[in-house]
Amino acid sequence: MVFKEASSSSHALPIIAGDPSVPLLGLKSGSYLSSQPKTFANVFIAIVGAGVLGLPYAFKRTGWAAGTLMLLVVGALTYHCMMLLTRTRRRLEEEVGFSKIASFGDLGFAVAGRVGRLSVDLMIVLSQASFCVGYLIFISNTLTHILPQKPNKLLSLAALLPFQLALNSIRSLTLLAPLSIFADIVDIAAMVVVLGVDVNTFAHRQPDLVSFGGSSVIFYGLGVAVYAFEGIGMVLPLESEAADKNKFGRTLGLSMAFISALYASFGAFGYAAFGDDTSDIITTNLGRGIIPLAVQIGLCINLFFTLPIMMNPVYEVAERWAYSKQYCIWLRWALVMVVCLVTLLVPNFTDFLSLVGSSVCCILGFVLPAAFHLRVFGPEMGWIGVVSDGAIIVIGVVFTVSGTFSTVMEILFSVKV
């Protein structure tokens, strides 16, 4: 569930199934199409990631009722924008005559040429690198929490860096692919353990809770929610792999509804259990028992080995821009060190989730899908459709600017509570 890797741009249109340039989630020649249950599971795996661990802290800041409402609204809007992408792809392939559009970047190129592809590439690079920063924040903070020596973030990153440089030097991701099963098992186990501890703790403590945290934290909460639902780059490959594409929208909607309910429960129960003591990473509230310790160590190992996979779209785009698609170890190492440097500058896990969600995830998840849909369907849409797409674009841009500014102010000047 941690693999929130966007399918980045493949190198050129037209593209055919089985093209090795399609990263990770591209169709493979001879692969079996997914049934509805498998598509449901794939959507769940694509969306749910490490961001869920910051939801209880976000609920602490926004209030449990406001946090729940924000998650439901963002979940519904994310589903709507995913469907905008699938409709746009279908129109271009079936009626306009474009060859197979395998990725979000391909769609951007088909709609707006090099500018469209560049826009998607840039947002994917920023979002994927940001996910990796979040992983390193989680690992370093967890090591500080569980190790008796209490190493600071700089020491933790210095210890991790040589191993990450080695892992990120691997050309083929097939060696790391089996870790996806481990990732799913660890993540599901972590959520089950956390929810169990939350319910048990709430039954004994029942702290005072806030329903609405005030208007000043709306952008903060929305940013975390947008981050938690980020997975827009996966929707086109997932639809391509669906056996019954006419039912893909229904399956996607059911999966998104289930994820929304799960997120709301996870955030609300985590905040209800610990109240004002809720940490920015909920696993640090679990105590010192064997099971909580095993969950935290398992998550650290999981994210440690997931990071090179998450960085792959960054390398794909960077090497295409700078080295004509050629492998470059020095560029990869430089990018890993940039990610580590940014990690040192961010003090709080959930604050960073809000920043990423308010900025790149908002553009990638809402603004670009609505803009592409409006460009393709605009001449034939009624005023309601035009207003709908236009409103998403305007609100997305306003939220990106306001939410990013608000979260940066939170990080720089607020006193941590």
pLDDT at 22 over 50: no
Q: Which of 66-70, 296-300, 376-380 shows the highest mean pLDDT?
A: 66-70
What's the rounded Cα separation, in Å, for the pair 406 and 117? Answer: 29
154 touches 344 (CB < 8 A): yes
24 vs 59: which has the higher pLDDT: 59
pLDDT at 50 over 90: no
Give 338's pLDDT tier (boundaries 50, 70, 90): very high
For the stretch 111-137, pLDDT in tens is 999 999 999 999 999 999 999 999 999
Q: Which of 151-160, 170-179, 279-288, 347-356 shows the highest mean pLDDT?
A: 151-160
pLDDT of the residue at 177? 62
Look up tokens 């190992």; give the residue.
301
Q: Is residue 366 part of a domain?
A: yes
Mean pLDDT across 318-343: 92
Specify the range with the lowest mean pLDDT, choosing from 15-24, 139-148, 214-223: 15-24
134 touches 356 (CB < 8 A): yes
Domain total for the chain?
1
What's the rounded Cα separation, in Å, for the pair 337 and 343? Answer: 10
11 touches 21 (CB < 8 A): yes
Give 336's pLDDT tier (boundaries 50, 70, 90): very high
Give 340's pLDDT tier (boundaries 50, 70, 90): very high
Strand partners, 242: 34
Taking residue 86's Cβ as centre, other Cβ atoms within 10 Å add up to 22
pLDDT at 255 over 90: yes
What's the rounded Cα separation, in Å, for the pair 414 and 417? Answer: 9
pLDDT at 263 over 90: yes
pLDDT at 172 over 50: yes
Q: Report residue 33 as tokens.
A: 């199409």
Q: Is residue 8 part of a domain?
A: no
pLDDT of the residue at 174? 65
Q: Is residue 4 part of a domain?
A: no
Specify the range with the lowest mean pLDDT, choosing from 5-19, 217-231, 279-293, 324-338: 5-19
Residue 375, Cα to own-chain centre: how many angstroms? 26
Which residues have a Cβ under 8 Å from the Cβ of 362 and sit 6 or more positions away? 223, 226, 396, 399, 400, 403
In the three-class reduction of DSSP (H, G, I as helix; E, B as strand; rest coil), residue 304 is classed as helix
What's the rounded Cα separation, in Å, for the pair 38 and 26? Answer: 16
pLDDT of the residue at 266? 94
Q: Is residue 30 part of a domain?
A: no
**The domain that contains 342 carries what CATH number?**
1.20.1740.10
For the stretch 380-400, pLDDT in tens is 888 899 999 999 999 999 999
Mean pLDDT score of the chain, rounded to an integer? 85
44 touches 258 (CB < 8 A): yes
Residue 103, Cα to own-chain centre: how many angstroms? 16
Look up tokens 């005023």; give the residue.
383
pLDDT of the residue at 27? 41
**Domain housing 118:** 36-413
E strands present in 160-221? none
150 vs 137: which has the higher pLDDT: 137
pLDDT of the residue at 6? 53
Taking residue 126's Cβ as centre, other Cβ atoms within 10 Å add up to 17
Specify the range with the lowest mean pLDDT, choosing from 46-50, 172-176, 339-343, 358-362: 172-176
Mean pLDDT across 184-199: 84
268 vs 96: which has the higher pLDDT: 268
304 touches 166 (CB < 8 A): no
What's the rounded Cα separation, in Å, for the pair 268 and 56? Answer: 6
- Burial-class residue 61 by CB neighbours within 10 Å (0-12, 13-18, 19+): buried
pLDDT at 3 over 50: no
Give the largest CA-CA distance in the chain. Answer: 65
pLDDT of the residue at 183? 72
Q: Is residue 2 part of a domain?
A: no
pLDDT at 244 over 90: no
pLDDT of the residue at 414? 58
pLDDT at 4 over 70: no
- Of 91, 131, 75, the C-alpha closest to 365 is 75
- Of 392, 307, 405, the C-alpha closest to 359 is 405
Give 20's pLDDT tier (boundaries 50, 70, 90): very low
What's the rounded Cα separation, in Å, for the pair 216 and 62? Answer: 9
13 vs 218: which has the higher pLDDT: 218
- What's the N-to-C CA distance of the chain in angstroms? 29
Mean pLDDT across 321-341: 92
- Of 411, 160, 155, the C-alpha closest to 308 is 160
Q: Is residue 143 part of a domain?
A: yes
Percent of the chain with pLDDT over 70: 88
pLDDT of the residue at 362? 95
H helical segments located in 275-382: 290-323, 329-345, 349-356, 362, 368-377
162: preceding bond cis by omega (within 30 degrees): no
pLDDT of the residue at 41? 84
pLDDT at 227 over 80: yes
Specify the range with the lowest mean pLDDT, choosing from 115-124, 179-188, 308-317: 179-188
Say which amino acid occupies 59: F
259 touches 187 (CB < 8 A): no
What's the rounded Cα separation, in Å, for the pair 368 and 374? Answer: 10
